[in-house]
A and B are shown apart, each in its own frame.
Chain A
Amino acid sequence: MERAKKSSASSRAGLVLPWVAFLQLVLMAGSGLVGVDALRFEVPAAATKCIAEEIQPNVLVLGDYSVVSAGDASHRITVKVTSPYGQQLYFQENVQVGQFGFTTKEGGNFMACFWMQNAPQTLTISLDLDWKTGVAAKDWEDIAKKDKLDGMEVELRKLEEAVESIHAEMLYLRDREKEMRNINEVTNARVAWFSIMSLFICLSVAGWQLWHLKSFFERKKLL
C-alpha cells in the first residue's frame, strides 16, 4: 500500500515537475536578459558616450549591452571598458550585442565607452546597457545548482551578500570621511598660518618702507 501511494504521488509530481522546472529555467534565464533592467541612452555618430561608476575592489561587474534595432537597419558600435588606471579591460569593435564581465582589482572609476565607427554624421542609435555590480551580477542559478540550495536559501544568501556590500560601502564612506576631516584640519591650520605670514610680510614691508624713506630723506638733507 505504502509503495503504491508513493509511486502515485511521484507520478503526479513527475507530470508537474518538468513543467515547473522549465518555467523556473525560463524565469531565471529571463532575468538575465538585457531588456529587463537596462538603461537606454542614445549614441550620436560623432561623439563618444561614456558611462562610469565608482566601484569597490573585489566586486564582480557584469555588463550587457545591445543596440536597439530601429526597423531593419543594423548598426554596430564599438565598446571599450577601462579601469581607473586606464588599463583596458574589454574591447570589441563593430558589434550589436555583447556582454563583459570582470572582477575589480582596485577601487575607483570604471568606465564603459561606446562610439560608432564609419557611420553617417546624422545617425543616432539607441543603446541598452545593463550594468550590474556585486549581488546582482552573480549567477544565482549556477550557485543554487552547485551548492544544491533551494529557493529560500538562495534568497537568504542574496540578502546576506547585499548586507555585506552595504557594510563594505559604509566602511568606505567612513574612510572617505576621515580623509576629508584630515584635509579640513590641514586647511584650517593653513588658513591660520598663512594669514599670520601675510600679516608678518605686510608689517615687515611697511617697516622696510619707513626705513628706506627715512634714509632717503636724510640723504637728501630734508630730515
Chain B
Amino acid sequence: MEIDLCFRIALLVLLASCVAGPVQGIRFVLDRKECFSHEVHWEHDNVDVSFVVIKADNPWSFNRLGVDLTVEAPNGRLLYNGHQKEDDKFEFEAPVRGFYRFCFSNISPMHETIDFDVHIGHITSREELAKPEDFDPLLHQISVIEEALYGVRFEQHWLQAQTDHQAIMNEAMSRRVIYKALLESAALVACSFLQVFLLQRLFERKLGKGSRV
C-alpha cells in the first residue's frame, strides 16, 4: 500500500512536471497576414520556433519568396523580427507566461505554403515543487530525456520541411531542363528558316531589279 501510494505521488509529480507541449508542426497557406497565438505556462521556458516556406503558389517563380515573422510576448515586447526570410530556426527564453503571438506577413502577391513549428519545453526543477522531498531524481532524469527527444523531433520536422521544399524544387528543375532544351531547338530551327527565307527574298529582289550577270 505504501509503495503504491509512493508511486501515485511520483506519477502526480511527473505529470505536473511534464505537461510541457510536444511539437506542434503545421502547414498553412499564407495570403497576406496570418497570426497564431500559443500559450506558455511557465516563465523561463525555452521556446523553439522554426518556419520554412515550402512553395509559392506560382510554379514558375524562380526562387522562394520570403516572409516576415514577428514574435510578440504577452507584455508587448518584440522578441523576434525577421524580414523576407525563406526559412529560419531560432529559440528564446520566455520572459513571462501567457499568450505569445507569432505573425507572418507576405508582401508578394502570391500565396505561399509555410511550415511552422513551435516547441515549448519545460522541466520542473526542485524549487518549483510544492514539497521538495517529493522530487525524485530518476523521474527528473526521465523528463530531461523526454525533453531532449522532443528537441530531436523538432529538428527533424525542420529537416523534413526543408527536404520537401528541395524535392519540389528539384522536380521543377528537371522539368525546366526539358522545356528549355525544346524551346531552344525550336527557336534555332525557326531562326534558321527565317534567315534562309530572308536571304532568298533579298537575292531574288536584287536579281530581279539589278542587271543580269
**Interface residue B14 (Cβ < 8 Å from any Cβ of A):** yes
**Interface residue B91 (Cβ < 8 Å from any Cβ of A):** no
Residues of A within 8 A of B150 (CB): 162
Q: Are A40 and B37 in contact (CB under 8 A)?
A: yes
The size of the chain A interface, using a CB distance under 8 A, is 77
Interface of B is mostly: helix
B8, B118, B174, B177: which contacts A24 (Cβ < 8 A)?
B8
B4, B120, B178, B188: which contacts A190 (Cβ < 8 A)?
B178
Q: Are A150 and B7 in contact (CB under 8 A)?
A: yes
Binds B, one of A8-16, A70-78, A80-88, A97-105: A8-16
Bound: A136/B11 CA distance, A: 17
Bound: A23/B167 CA distance, A: 49
A47, A131, A221: which contacts B26 (Cβ < 8 A)?
A131
Residues of A within 8 A of B203 (CB): 216-217, 220, 222
**CB-defined interface of A183-223 with B at 8 Å, one 1/0 digit per residue?**
11011001100110110011001101100110011001110
Residues of A within 8 A of B31 (CB): 47
Bound: A155/B139 CA distance, A: 9
A to B contact number (C-beta, < 8 Å): 189
Which residues of B (67-99) have their CB < 8 Å from a CB of A? 99
Q: Are B10 and A21 in contact (CB under 8 A)?
A: no
**Interface residue A120 (Cβ < 8 Å from any Cβ of B):** no
Q: Are B166 and A152 in contact (CB under 8 A)?
A: no
Q: Are A54 and B164 in contact (CB under 8 A)?
A: yes
**CB-defined interface of B148-168 with A at 8 Å, one 1/0 digit per residue?**
011011001001100110110
CB distance from A179 to the nearest CB of B (A): 7
**Interface residue B110 (Cβ < 8 Å from any Cβ of A):** no
Residues of B within 8 A of A155 (CB): 14, 18, 139, 142-143, 146
Q: Are A109 and B142 in contact (CB under 8 A)?
A: no
| A interface residues, Cβ below 8 angstroms from B | 9-10, 13, 16-17, 20-21, 23-24, 27-28, 30-31, 35-42, 47, 49-54, 109, 126, 131-132, 135-136, 150-152, 154-156, 158-159, 162-163, 165-166, 169-170, 172-173, 176-177, 179-180, 183-184, 186-187, 190-191, 194-195, 197-198, 201-202, 205-206, 208-209, 212-213, 216-217, 220-222
